[in-house]
Structure 1
Amino acid sequence: MTPGPVPDLGPDPFVRLSAVTKRFGAEAPALDAIDGTIAGGRITGLVGPDGAGKTTLIRLMTGLMLPDEGTVDVLGYDTRRNPAAIQAAIGYMPQRFGLYEDLSVQENLDLYADLRGLPKAERARTFGELLDFTDLHRFTTRLAGKLSGGMKQKLGLACALLRKPRLLLLDEPGVGVDPISRRDLWKMVENLTAEGIGVVWSTAYLEEAEACDHVFLLNQGRLLFSGPPHEMTDRVEDRVYRLSGIDGRRREQLARLLDEEGVVDGVIQGEAIRLVMKPGLSPPSPAKDGDKATSHAVVAAPRFEDAFVDMLGGGPGGRSKLAETQKTFTAEGGKPVIEARGLTKRFGDFTAADNITFDIPRGQIFGLLGPNGAGKSTTFKMLCGLLKPTAGEGRVAGFDLRRDAAEARNRLGYMAQKFSLYGDLSVIQNLNFFAGVYGLSRLAKRERIELMTQIFEFRSIHDMSAKDLPLGLKQRLALACAVLHEPEVLFLDEPTSGVDPITRREFWTHINGLVEKGVTVLVTTHFMDEAEYCDRISLIYRGRSIALGSPDEMKARVASKDIPDPTMEDAFIALVENSEANEAA
């Protein structure tokens, strides 16, 4: 798409926020005296944890909601006095998919063209430009509900652009989208800003925040930082370290290091550990082999996420109360706990998964990575016993999924990609329901539910409907339900999609702790930094496994003179592109 010229508003900002406050009931303000300006021709990021106020601020900019105090001026209009003029001049893509899943791509475009009052004479040209812009030409007859996550977001963006906006508001457009589709979305948006359009991009992906021209960092309704991302990243310069040559299990070492004095944050990075330290302090050494330390630390380039976690007071620490209560599973003769042998699934003449083969030993994390629609979830569901393979076989905890699917399912805990709990049931009702599904005795049921309530701090929200919980709490509840019966295998399908980095660290602290107790984990994720926690990864593309190995092995495969130290995202994109090139040759 090639947007037309945007009217010149001169030096005035596109959005002016003056002491903006918004409350919902008697709780603390969702937004508390926010000041700031948003300019045209650049991407402004709204960054912050769940419940920080990002969505509320975007809705105030649309004029769909009014501030309790202060003023919001958008494109020269006050939202209180002239919301209709604002809504006619902006594009808005809400956080939850706002399209109609039982309509096709073209039918959604037609509907939104009607809603936006796009003249009939302009539709053919506009639709053609948008379909070119989003590369959706081939999918105009496909139902929106059948699109991959990345394609849904592209369609949502197309609908927001039907009338060329001066200001485009995007509420977490990258949630659930693979790195290649996210990169495509960024290119589209950057093309728009080159034409002078102002873009507000709300995100929980901090690598996205790093790519913005300007960021607002919100937490609990307060504005903690406003400025270019590099100004925030510079705050942790020379405080970030990479520890390599770790002796022993990385997860155990990370848990210990996170509880050391002066450690602000820490994550696993392949075979190394990345630490953020308090000012003036050097990193502690991991546990030693006898009297000899086997690791060494080097200063690493800081990332926006390092500064973000530092500003919020640090991560959750290395202790997992959940793992401390978990029974220990021991390896039995070195047999793999999860096995896939030539797993294949066809739907008619379409092959969703083709000859997928791997095995996972006891106490390891195995990652399934790939673009949206590549076949990850199909493979995942076959190994869960939720989908019968067309060919091949899968085994979980020694049980064949064709013959003994029920027995296999009793050994595993499952956390689905889309929130799998019952929204109309309360927190305590969901816990009771899943305890019953897993066949816990009355005593075990009472003890396990009480334990989950204490570990995840559910007491105050026991009677709250699951659908009304913030996303971070929903994910905690989903994990609690998945581990009620102390499974020896955990299947996690994009478990932290859309949640903020602090909540993600808490989640992985629990997972790392469970793995140390011998639990085996199969995970899909679009967060490439989470892929670093995996012992091994299978990269799936167009239904086939195109790479299998550790994160460091994947990165080494794509290292070059131009990219001597590739990230997991670099490896992901390069391996997919190499596969495409090989197929075309």
Structure 2
Amino acid sequence: MSAKTELALVLAGVDKQFRQGKRSTQALTQLSVQVQRGRITGLMGPDGAGKTTLMRLAAALLHPDAGEVQVLGLDTRTQASLIQQQIGYMPQRFGLYEELSLRENLDLYADLQGLPDAERAARCAELLRLTALSPFAARRAGDLSGGMKQKLGLACTLLRAPTLLLLDEPTVGVDPISRRELWSIIQTLHGQGATVLVSTAYLDEAERCDDIILLDQGRCLAQQPPAAFTAPLAGHCWRVRHAGMHRRALQESLLTRPGVRDATLQAEGVRVLLAENPPQPAPDEDWQPQPPRFEDAFISLLSPPSTPGQPAPAMSTPSRDQRASDPVPRSSAVTVDGGMAPAPRAGSTQPPAATSSSEPVIEVQNLRRSFGSFEAVKDISFSVTRGEVFGLLGANGAGKTTTFRMLCGLLPASSGVLRVAGVDVRQATATARARIGYVAQKFALYGNLSTQQNLHFFASAYGLRGARRQARLAWAEQEFALTDYLGTNTGALPLGFKQRLALACALMHEPRILFLDEPTSGVDPLARRAFWRRINHLAESGVTIMVTTHFMDEAEYCDHLVLMSRGEVLAFGSPQAIRAQATTPDHPEPSMEDAFVQLIQTHESDSRQAA
């Protein structure tokens, strides 16, 4: 086989620009990368790096402005139809027909792809077995869980057994069990000879790839195997513990120290990435070396180094264009309930002031919700105290979003007690809503309105008037670094900026309680880190946070968790207590993801056997 035929995809000197009105965006700049046949290649990078543009060029849906794109030896400008007959492309939002059944969706896509009738039955049966969807073939697609929808989208993509499979964030928004199932399918396809190019926001998935292309601002920073990214960081990664300090306070302290590139909560301590080696522990700190991960390399290559003596970038994360030139935040405090909650100063070793109390601000007793004969939430009870970060976890379809919507007064409960901020939600819905902020799973922004228009709309919706309205609008623009995007339609914003805007809108009226329904789904790790520093400061200032997430590392930021399965509470407690329930002699230190998968799979297996 010649060197040319060993390559499934070649981009050589590719430029691609998009224009919207007077604004232009350079998506790719002189990009040259190659994807070898028979390998799984990961496509990584922050929001706006150019990953989706590269995918659409590889699918021959776009033409480059300059340079060449060859797919399976064919030129995308002149041989697009031949290319599309040999590839499979699953975009971020795969177009399922929700009113059709699972099997009817497969039949429709088989028609669209021209799959011969003689091959159709066997191929569909094979894909249903591969995705474990056979028992649900007659179910309406709109009634499938998020993970099942992703597997169905992948099955539709695979009807013609592609030589090259292009997957644009196939695991976004799905729970850890579904992610593992999707990767099992990808690896099975790879074992059958398929070449796979997959983009993802989950950096642990990089370890499953043979090769990684790392993009930033439309350029290739590096292309090499995962081990080549992590090797230079040997000796730079540590786990830090402090018996007398809360993990979130320890994390904040570490982030302000010179030489610390990253600090995230991990199990009983804080995982730290150092720019230099060795560490300089403070009194009563225990530092233990850790093997580097791809996530450490990602942060090291893409995050600006901290500036000694400057506040840590807690509240305003620079845009990708600002990262190199403006690493210092515009603000080091967040407004809560009319006051200012100061962020810890650089060099401080004191934990932020604790403001949580035993006062319950969310009370749920014997809550139920039925849709016809289907009971989505089954007699659940829990309470949340002031200033607490409370996590609601579960697989897709567990009832988390239904519970959230009832707590926010957006969906009536079938029965039970719901009290939020001292208000009975079932009796005084409007009063309860005025005391909460809500960031929906799909970001409830108006895509045809500009950033500024969205801010003004939500200010009006929350009843802000006069000087207070102007002050809050100015706060939102500055605090979330939105000034440069005020005239941009929300639909055109990168995902990280949509998240910022959604959070700014939810905090516009200074609520006492903030509900966050999978707020970081699909958002890159840099934006997720900045987001969680905001959340931590809000909690320390007395705001109660209730959050759902499919990122199990984010569950570590919670004070307490409820783990739901099939509408029921499966487990309740601190992250440490949840992990302890999954501890075994063979696995004495399970991660939160390990605990999630083990507890839910065991429960749902028992449920199926009982049925």
Q: Deviations over 1:221-269 (max 9, x none)?
A: 1111111112112222211111113433333332232121101011122
Q: CA deviation at 1:10?
A: 9.2
Aligned pair partner of 2:137 in 129, 136, 140:
140
Distance 1:357 1:323, change over 3 A: farther
Query: Secondary structure, in 3 states, of the residue corresponding to 1:190?
Result: helix
From the superposition, tell whether residues 505 and 373 of structure 1 become closer, same or farther in structure 2 (CA, over 3 Å). same
2:597 match: secondary structure: helix
Superposition pairs for residues 57-456 of structure 1, below 5 Å?
A: 57-285=54-282, 293-314=283-304, 317-320=312-315, 321=331, 323-327=333-337, 334-456=358-480
Q: Return the letter of the residue paired with 1:381.
A: R
Residue in 2 that maps onto 1:481: 505
1:153–1:8 CA distance, 2 compared to 1 (3 A)? farther
**Does residue 56 in structure 1 map to residue 53 in structure 2?**
yes
**Contact 1:246–1:271 (8 Å) recurs in 2:** no
The equivalent of 1:290 in structure 2 is none
Distance of aligned partners of 1:217 and 1:19 in 2 relative to their CA distance in 1, 3 Å threshold = same
* CA distance in 1 between partners of 2:42 and 2:357 (Å): 52
Q: Distance in 2 between matches of 1:145 and 1:30?
A: 34
Q: Partner residue of 1:3?
A: none
Preserved CA contact (<8 Å) 2:89 2:157: yes
Partner Cα separation in structure 2 for residue 488 and residue 210 of structure 1: 40
Letter of the structure 2 residue corresponding to residue 77 of structure 1: L
**Which stretch has the larger CA shift, 108-117 or 239-248?**
239-248
Aligned residue number for residue 21 of structure 1: 15
Distance 1:301 1:270 in 2: 15
Distance 2:594 2:581 in 1: 11
Moved more, 265-274 or 548-557: 265-274
Q: Alpha carbon RMSD of aligned pairs, Å?
A: 2.1
CA contact (8 A) 2:445 2:502 kept: yes
Deviates more, 1:98-107 or 1:527-536: 98-107
CA–CA separation in structure 2 for the residues paired with 1:228 and 1:493 = 35
Q: Does 1:576 align with 2:600?
A: yes
Q: Offset at 1:453? A: 0.5
Cα distance in 2 between the residues matched to 1:432 and 1:572: 40
Once the two structures are TM-superposed, the CA of residue 322 in structure 1 deviates from its matched residue by 7.4
Give the CA deviation at 1:100.
2.5
In structure 2, what is the equivalent of residue 33 of structure 1? 30
For the Cα contact (< 8 Å) 2:10–2:35, is it kept in 1? Answer: yes
Deviation at 1:8, TM superposition (A): 12
Give the Å deviation of 1:495: 0.3
**1:296 Cα shift?**
1.2
For 1:238 and 1:231, the matched residues in 2 are separated by 15
- Does 1:515 pair with 2:542? no
Worse-superposed segment, 491-500 or 322-331 = 322-331
Question: Distance between the aligned counterparts of 1:359 and 1:122, measured in 2?
Answer: 55
Question: 1:273: Cα distance to partner?
Answer: 1.5
CA drift of 1:39 comes to: 2.1
Structure 1 unaligned spans of 5+: 1-6, 286-292
Looking at structure 1, the residues matched to 396 and 244 of structure 2 have their Cα atoms a distance apart, in angstroms, of: 36
SS in 2 for 1:485: coil
The alignment covers a number of residue pairs equal to 572
Q: Does the 8 Å contact 1:251/1:513 carry over to 2?
A: no
Contact 1:46 1:218 in 2 (8 A): yes
Partners of 1:8 and 1:527 lie apart in 2 by 42
State TM-score, norm by structure 2: 0.90
Matches within 5 A, 1:516-555: 516-555=540-579
Q: Which amino acid in the other structure matches residue 140 of structure 2? A: L
What's the CA shift for 1:466? 1.2
Report the Cα distance in structure 1 between the residues aligned to 2:26 and 2:598, rounded to whole angstroms. Answer: 45
Q: Which runs of 5+ in 2 are unaligned?
A: 307-311, 316-330, 342-353
Cα distance in 1 for partners of 2:135, 2:443 equals 30
Taking the aligned partners of 1:323 and 1:346, their CA distance within structure 2 comes to: 43
CA shift in 2, pair 1:523/1:356, >3 Å:
same
